[in-house]
Structure 1
Amino acid sequence: MGLIDDLAENLAHDVIEAQLELDEDRFYIDIGDYIGTSSPSLQEAFMTACRLRLAELRGRTYFEKRLGERRKAKAAAAADGAPK
């Protein structure tokens, strides 16, 4: 990765952690707008990194939810078929 990607990734990591801590789902946009006043290139790389991280987080949360539901259903089906 180049310098711009490294900087954007590092900042995106920190901003997303803060965003989750603060429970402000658009905090990264504020930071991105501020970055854009001095470096549109860094802003774009940062926003891309944030969008990717947030999409991965949403995907992982959904995956874990669905996996839990399927495991619960499988366990219930196995319990229903178990000898009593």
Structure 2
Amino acid sequence: MGTIETLAAKLAEDTLKVMDQIGDDRFYVEVGNVLAASSQSLEEAFLTEIRVRLSERIARRFLVKKVTEYKASLTQKDPTE
């Protein structure tokens, strides 16, 4: 991994932590704007890292929801069937 990718990955992790703390799910846009003023390359890498991590969060929530629904359906089935 190159310098830009390494910095973007760390900045994305830190930004997501701040987003969770302050409850602002669009805060990464502000960070991206700050980056855009000084390094378009880092901005693009950062936004890619953010999108990947946000997508992963959404997919994990979906998986947890499906497993929870499945487990609930097992406990609701009629045992005489």
* TM-score scaled by length of structure 1: 0.90
Structure 2 distance, partners of 1:18, 1:62, is: 23
What is the match of residue 7 of structure 2? Answer: 7
Is 1:67 aligned to residue 72 of structure 2?
no
Describe the SS at the equivalent of 1:81.
coil
Aligned length: 81
Greater than 6 Å deviation, 4+ residue runs: none
The amino acid of 1:76's aligned partner reads Q
Unaligned runs of 5+ in 1: none
Greater Rg over alpha carbons, structure: 1
d(CA) in 1 for partners of 2:28 and 2:34?
10
Give per-residue Cα distances to partners, 1:4-53, cap 9 Å, x unaligned: 00000000000011101111010000001101100000000000000110
Give the AA of the match of 1:81: P
Aligned equivalents of 1:61 and 1:20: distance in 2? 15
SS in 1 for 2:25: coil
> Letter of the aligned partner of 2:79 in structure 1?
G
Instruction: Name the structure 2 match of 1:47.
Output: 47
TM-score, with structure 2 as normaliser: 0.93
Q: Which residue of 2 aligns with 1:27?
A: 27
Q: CA deviation at 1:75?
A: 2.2
